[in-house]
Amino acid sequence: MIHRHKLIVTLILMSIGISACGYKAPVYYPTEAQRQELAEKEARIKARKQAKKAQQEANQTQPSSVAQ
């Protein structure tokens, strides 16, 4: 009876341990073309953020026009 209990506990612990494996990496590895496309998208996003920041800084340095 004790042997059976140890076996059940061992199997449960092993199943929990095994189920945790495989969640540390992406589901698939992107191809070189997909990596290039992602890099281009990230570059466009970065350029837009820099342009927006430059526009905001330019707006802050310009004196506001006062209607007369």
Per-residue confidence in pLDDT tens, the chain, 68 aa: 778 999 999 999 988 877 766 566 667 788 999 999 999 999 999 999 999 999 999 988 876 655 55
Residue 9 domain-assigned (yes or no): no
Domain that includes residue 38, residue range = 30-57
Residue 44 domain-assigned (yes or no): yes
Q: How many domains does the chain have?
A: 1
Residue 41 domain-assigned (yes or no): yes
Tell me, what's the pLDDT at 1? 73
Tell me, what's the pLDDT at 60? 87
Residue 7 domain-assigned (yes or no): no
Residue 53 domain-assigned (yes or no): yes
Residue 11 domain-assigned (yes or no): no
Residue 22 domain-assigned (yes or no): no
Nearest alpha-carbon partner for 26 in 35, 18, 17: 35
Residue 24 domain-assigned (yes or no): no
Tell me, what's the pLDDT at 24? 63
Alpha carbons 13 and 8: distance in angstroms, whole number: 9
Alpha carbons 12 and 53: distance in angstroms, whole number: 55
pTM given for the model: 0.48
Q: Are 47 and 55 in contact (CB under 8 A)?
A: no
